[in-house]
């Protein structure tokens, strides 16, 4: 399968235009409009408005509507970062950039639509899901709640993500957990402020408590969790007092962080241990500690049969050597997990690393590698065709 040069140049130009105008989760109005503009040009049917800014398009094969159906999903949102990539198509929206490659994923899915429209000798229906708000704000869950699978029944659904840690030409897919579940942690410590020189003994110092909480929280994984079960607990932010008030003990301290896990038992162990830690510090210091745990992401679990479909497509389309041996789950999270809870399917990592693309995801220097657009188009198109063929039996 080859993408014509003219078509590839068009896709690259479209991707870079999306990159210039990134939008945060549930705010992707201009991105959705641009997607719909491309769908109109192709004459493809679609609906808008799922989860606010989501778009779902579909194609029926020339061999008949069939009973089979498959979904292909791409995410559209950007991150709240100031771009430092130095590319001439850098973000023109201050404080917002495509630092995870969702501009590339959206472009790949549009390329797959165009390819499958030209090569429509399949039986069944392919649904193309343009999802908003993947970056921790619940777009996948919202699309499912908004009737994605009841309005558009699918036998399977697939998604991909560029992976700068894999070389271009390599693909990673495994059955079972491939991306971690993730919780957001928010902690507020309510103490009693005062003078740091005259009266520290009469205060309940939230900074002191926060320091102890951080130190002890970072031992939970090493001492409370089964060492054979991957887990991460990171307190990533703390705010308390003012640097100008160097001698003022503040009243409160707030902390935020994340927990990651690959199974429910580990998730519950992390949560219960952190709750116990907060309760013990609260009692010892006489403070009041509020702990909120938001289960932002479920574990992304690949169906075994869908994974076999992915492996077959990678080998057929790119060769046996393209399949990354001993691929490991990532402790990053992905809200495609909620779609996989509702519909069987698989998630594939697409190698994007080369000598000019060395920055990782969520870096202010990151830029999507346009070299892999044809890889994504071939992979998505192949997954759709192979899935429908297998569903037909």
Per the annotation, where are the binding residues for Mn(2+)? 100, 102, 135, 161, 362
Question: Which among 331, 324, 323, 217 is positioned nearest to 274, based on CA atoms?
Answer: 217
- Distance between CA atoms of 334 and 350, rounded to whole angstroms? 15
- Sheet of 45-50: strand order equals 45-50, 54-60, 125-131, 69-75, 156-167, 345-353, 171-172
Q: CA dist 288 to 201, 292, 363, Å?
A: 18, 13, 36
∠ CA 266-157-31, nearest 5°, is 100
- Distance between CA atoms of 151 and 128, rounded to whole angstroms? 13
- Distance between CA atoms of 193 and 200, rounded to whole angstroms? 9
Question: Which among 305, 357, 380 is positioned nearest to 129, based on CA atoms?
Answer: 380
- Distance between CA atoms of 315 and 317, rounded to whole angstroms? 6
- Distance between CA atoms of 392 and 122, rounded to whole angstroms? 10
Cα 50 off chain centre by: 18
- Distance between CA atoms of 134 and 151, rounded to whole angstroms? 21
DSSP letter at 359 equals: P
- Distance between CA atoms of 385 and 26, rounded to whole angstroms? 31
Q: Binding-site residues, please? A: 100, 102, 135, 161, 362
């Amino acid at each position: 399968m080859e993408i014509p040069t003219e078509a590839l140049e068009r896709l690259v130009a479209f991707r870079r235009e999306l990159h210039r105008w990134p939008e945060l989760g549930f705010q992707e109005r201009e991105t959705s409009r641009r997607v719909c503009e491309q769908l109109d040009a192709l004459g493809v049917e679609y609906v808008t408005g799922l989860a606010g800014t989501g778009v779902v398009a579909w194609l029926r094969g020339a061999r008949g509507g069939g009973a089979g159906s498959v979904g292909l999903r791409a995410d559209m949102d950007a991150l709240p970062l100031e771009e430092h990539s130095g590319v001439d198509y850098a973000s023109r929206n201050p404080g917002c950039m495509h630092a995870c490659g969702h501009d590339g994923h959206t472009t790949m899915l549009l390329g797959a639509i165009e390819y499958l429209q030209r090569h429509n000798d399949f039986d069944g229906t392919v649904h193309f899901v343009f999802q908003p708000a993947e970056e921790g704000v619940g777009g996948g869950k919202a699309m499912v709640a908004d009737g994605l699978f009841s309005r558009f029944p699918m036998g399977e659904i697939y998604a991909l993500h560029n992976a700068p840690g894999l070389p271009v030409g390599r693909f990673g897919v495994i059955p079972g957990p491939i991306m971690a579940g993730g919780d957001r942690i928010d902690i507020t410590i309510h103490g009693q402020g005062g003078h740091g020189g005259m009266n520290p003994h009469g205060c309940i110092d939230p900074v002191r408590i926060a320091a102890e909480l951080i130190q002890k929280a970072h031992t939970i994984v090493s001492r409370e969790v089964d060492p054979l079960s991957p887990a991460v607990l990171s307190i990533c932010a703390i705010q308390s007092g003012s640097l100008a008030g160097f001698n003022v003990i503040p009243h409160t301290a707030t902390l935020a962080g994340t927990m990651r896990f690959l199974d429910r038992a580990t998730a519950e162990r992390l949560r219960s241990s952190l709750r116990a830690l907060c309760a013990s510090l609260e009692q010892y210091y006489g403070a009041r500690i509020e702990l909120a745990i938001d289960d932002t992401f479920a574990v992304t679990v690949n169906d075994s049969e869908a994974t076999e479909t992915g492996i077959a497509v990678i080998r057929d389309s790119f060769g046996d050597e393209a399949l990354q041996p001993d691929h490991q789950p990532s402790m990053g999270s992905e809200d495609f997990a909620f779609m996989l809870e509702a519909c069987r399917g698989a998630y594939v990592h697409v190698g994007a690393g080369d000598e000019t693309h060395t920055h990782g995801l969520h870096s202010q220097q990151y830029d999507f590698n346009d070299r892999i657009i044809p890889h994504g188009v071939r992979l998505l198109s192949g997954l759709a065709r192979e899935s429908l063929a297998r569903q037909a039996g």
